Amino acid sequence: MKRRHYLGLLVVGMGIALFITLFSPLASSEPDGLEKVAENEGFIAQAEDAPYEVIADYVLPGVDNEHLATVLAGIIGIVVVAAVALVFAFLLWRLRGAQRPTSSGGRPG
Amino acid sequence: MAMIDPSTLQTIEAPAMHIPDGFLSGPVAGVGFALAGVAIGFAVWRTNRTLGERFVPLMGVMAAFIFAAQMMNFPVAGGTSGHMVGGALAAILLGPWAAMIAMTSVVGVQALIFQDGGLAALGTNVFNMAVVACLVGYAVHAGFIRFSHLAPWVRYAAAFAAAWLSVEAAAIACSFELALSDTSPLNVALPAMLGVHAAIGVGEGLITVAAVAFVAATRPDLVVAQVPVTED
C-alpha cells in the first residue's frame, strides 16, 4: 500500500513535468533577468562560451526540428535531473547515520 | 574595442539567475564554491539524520518539476523574460535541507549538461538558487504559516511571499557577486536586478501558489509536515 503510494507520486509527478516540457517550445525567447541587466549595463560581452557543449541552449543537437529538439532536450533533462535527485535522496535515506526516530516528530531535515 | 554586434548578444545564454562564466572574478567564484559546499555539506548532514522514506520520491519529483518549470520562460515587461527558480516551492514541500539538495541536482545538471550557468560559476549559482532561495523561501513561509489558522488563504499568501522574496534575495546575492567581481557596480546592478526580478518574482509566486494548492488538494499528506500541529 505504502509502496503504491510512492509509485503513484513518482508517476504523476514525472507525468506533470513531462507534460510541461511539451510546451517548452512556446517559452519566451526574450533575454531574461540577468541577461537583460547585462545587456542594459553593457557587461553581457564578458560572458564566455562554455568549454564544451552537450545539449547547449536546451536544443538537442542533430535534430532538425527545433521544437522537437527542445522537447527532447527537456525530456532528457527531466529524466537525468530526477535520476540524480533520486539517487542522492536514496543514498541519504539508506545511509542514515542515526536510526533513532526524530524527537520533534515528522519534521523533515 | 570593436563595436559589439547586437545580433550576437542574443546567442549568449545568461538565463534569469544563472551566471555564465566570465561575469565572476576568481575569488568570488571560489568563495561561491566554498559557501555552497559548506551549505550543501550541512544539508547532507541534516537530511542524513532525518530524511523520511517518503522524501525519496518527492525529492526526485520536485527536482524534475523544477527543471521543467525553469525551461518555461514567461514574458515580463520591457522585452524581458523570466523563469521560475523553484527554491521556495522546494523548501515549502521538502523543508530547507532536502530542498537544497534537490535544487543542487537541478542547477548542477543545468551547468554540466545544458551549459546553462558557467562551470566556474557553478558554486555561486548553487549558492544563489539552492542555498539563498531555499533558506529565504523556507524562513518567510515558516513565519507566515503560523497564522494559517486565521484564514485558509494565509497558506497561499505565505507561499507567494516566500516565492517572491526568495527570488529577490537571490537577485541581491547575484548583484553583490557581480559588484565584488568588478563586473557591474552595486549601485547599477542592485536596482536593475531587483527591478527585473520583482516582476519575475510575481510569476514565481503564482506558480508556487498553484503548485502548493495542487499538492494540498491532491496529496495533503505531503504538506502537513510544514504546518504546525493544529486541531484539524
Check residue B225 and give its pLDDT: 53
pLDDT at B77: 77
Domains and CATH numbers, chain B: 24-226 (1.10.1760.20)
B72 close to B84: Cβ distance less than 8 angstroms: yes
Give tens-digit pLDDT for A93-103: 888 765 544 44
Average per-residue pLDDT for chain A: 84
Query: Residue ranges of chain B with pLDDT lower than 50?
Result: 1-14, 227-232
Smallest CA–CA separation between A34 and chain B, in Å?
Answer: 5
- Is the C-alpha dihedral spanning B114, B119, B124, B126 positive or negative? positive
Cβ–Cβ contact A101 with B under 8 A:
no
The answer, for A44 touching chain B at a CB cutoff of 8 Å, is yes
3-state secondary structure of A4: helix
Radius of gyration of chain B (CA): 18
- Which cell numbers in the block locate residue B138? 523556507
Query: What's the pTM?
Result: 0.88
Instruction: Name which of A3, A10, A32 to mutate to probe chain B: the one with the most chain B Cβ atoms within 10 A of its Cβ.
Output: A32
Nearest CB to B67 within list A12, A39, A81:
A81
Residue B10 has a pLDDT of 37
Are the Cβ atoms of B97 and A57 closer than 8 angstroms?
no
A16-51 tens-digit pLDDT = 999 999 998 888 888 888 888 998 888 888 888 888
List pLDDT tens digits, range A49-67. Answer: 888 889 988 999 999 898 9
pLDDT at residue B218, rounded to an integer: 87
CA–CA gap between residue B206 and residue B159 (Å, rounded): 9
Which pLDDT belongs to residue B16?
Answer: 62
CA distance B174 to B157: 26
Distance separating alpha carbons of residues B67 and B176, to the nearest angstrom: 26
Name the residue with cell 568549454.
Answer: A51
Work out the minimum CA distance from A1 to partner chain B, whole angstroms: 13
For chain A, give every domain's residue range: 1-26+57-96
Please name which of B203, B200, B207 lies closest in space to residue B156, comparing C-alpha atoms.
Answer: B207
Query: What is the residue whose three cell numbers read 489558522?
Result: B149
Specify the pLDDT at position A109. 46
Our measurement of the distance from residue B53's CA atom to the centroid of its chain's CA atoms, rounded to an integer in Å, reads: 24
Nearest-angstrom CA–CA distance, A89 and B175: 32
Interface test with B, best of A14, A20, A37, A94 (most B CBs within 10 A): A37
The ipTM (two decimal places) reads 0.86
